[in-house]
Amino acid sequence: MAFTVEDFQDLLELLRAHPEWRQRLWELLASEELLRLPAEVKAFREEFRAFRDQTFETFRQETERRFQRVEEQIAALAEAQRRHYEEFAAYRADTDRRFAELAEAQRRHYEEFAAYRADTDRRFAELAEAQRRHYEEFTAYRAETDRRFAELAEAQRRTEERVGRLVEAVAALTEAQRRTEERVTRIEGRLRGDEVETEYRTLRRRYRHLVRDPQILSREEREAMLEALEARGALTPEEADQLEVADVIVRGRRLDGEGEAYLVVEASVTIDTYDVQRAAERAKALQKALPEAEVRAVVAGPEIHPLAARAARDRGVWWLKDGRPFAPHAIPINE
């Protein structure tokens, strides 16, 4: 027969009415592990209670030990605080004493400063008064100095004017002296030149190393020779005019034979390139007019300019110095 809900409700009513049946029913329905569970729970409770009692006792003892240590530390801290307070009280008393001493020293310092300030004000007043008097004296001195400088400047201006006039006079005198010296130099040069020309126009032995039996042509002899050559057409009038104003013309015989030889000479104290040019051109004209004769261009004088020496070398002009002849290639060049 099937078990219905009404039957289950009836069963529950019977179990409520008979509690002992519930234990018997529990034994039939529960497994062996489930039946042992209440006993195991009870044992666990007893073990937990024992563990709790033991742990609480240990915790209590440890707590008491820690509290005791804390009380000892608090007592030590209180002792340290007491000592610190005593030290602070002593330090405070000493500080108050020192501040009192400092206040007393400050008071004395202020009194000294007030006295010093009063003395300083007095000294500044005296200095200001002295400065005022000094400024008045300086103003008077400056006015006097300005007046004296103005007088000095005026005197300096007059002096500079006089010096300016004197400088102009000295400059004019210097210029006159320079012109005089130039004139004297030119006169001396002409005189020395005249002496050199006179020497080479009169001393025929000066030419003995260039030709044999040298004869210095006189003005008449020179004019006669030039007129004859010009008449033959051997010289142009211009060439004859140039040879006529040559310083010296010497006639002789060749050193290496019996033929005629001529020297066209330009004499000067210091031989320049113009002397070399004139001697070369005039000798060339005479050589053209007398092709059978030997004609040499000669410059004569104690000194020769380096440029003239180079020109003489280039144009084949001899240099005669105090009777000593220098061939063109042997003329020294002193830079």
Per-residue pLDDT reduced to its tens digit, 45-80:
888 888 888 887 887 888 888 878 888 888 888 888
Q: Which residues contact 268 (CB under 8 A, 6 or more apart)?
A: 193, 196, 275, 299, 300, 301
Per-residue model confidence (pLDDT) at position 187: 42
Q: For residue 296, report the phi and psi dihedrals to the nearest 5 degrees.
A: -120, 140
Kindly tell me if the per-residue pLDDT of 319 is higher than 80: yes
CA gyration radius for the chain?
A: 76
Kindly tell me if the per-residue pLDDT of 196 is higher than 60: yes
The pLDDT mean for the chain works out to 85
Per-residue model confidence (pLDDT) at position 248: 95
Per-residue model confidence (pLDDT) at position 185: 43
Of the pLDDT bands very low, low, confident and very high (cuts 50, 70, 90), residue 184 is very low
How far apart CA 225 and CA 189 sit, in angstroms, is: 31
* Residue pLDDT, tens place only, 282-297: 999 999 999 999 999 9
How far apart CA 188 and CA 157 sit, in angstroms, is: 45
Kindly tell me if the per-residue pLDDT of 205 is higher than 80: yes
Q: For residue 326, report the phi and psi dihedrals to the nearest 5 degrees.
A: -120, 120
Q: 33 or 160: which carries more pLDDT confidence? A: 160
Of the pLDDT bands very low, low, confident and very high (cuts 50, 70, 90), residue 211 is very high
Kindly tell me if the per-residue pLDDT of 307 is higher than 80: yes
* Residue pLDDT, tens place only, 122-152: 888 888 888 888 888 888 888 888 898 888 8
Q: Which residues contact 251 (CB under 8 A, 6 or more apart)?
A: 211, 214, 215, 217, 260, 261, 262
What is residue 212's three-state secondary structure? strand
Per-residue model confidence (pLDDT) at position 19: 79
Q: What is the CATH number of domain 203-330?
A: 3.40.1350
Task: Label the pairing between strands 294-300 and 260-267.
Answer: parallel
How far apart CA 30 and CA 308 sit, in angstroms, is: 162
In one-letter notation, the amino acid at residue 215 is Q
Mean pLDDT on 255-273? 92
Mean pLDDT on 93-121? 87
DSSP codes of every residue in 30-94:
S-HHHHHHHHHHHHHHHHHHHHHHHHHHHHHHHHHHHHHHHHHHHHHHHHHHHHHHHHHHHHHHH
Per-residue model confidence (pLDDT) at position 5: 57
What is residue 291's three-state secondary structure? coil
Question: b/e per residue, 260-275, with b = 16+ CB within 10 A?
Answer: ebbbbbbbbbebbeeb
How far apart CA 254 and CA 293 sit, in angstroms, is: 9
Kindly tell me if the per-residue pLDDT of 263 is higher than 50: yes
In one-letter notation, the amino acid at residue 57 is E
Compute the half-sphere exposure of residue 123: CA atoms within 13 Å on the CB side of its CA. 6
Where are the chain's structural domains?
8-157, 203-330
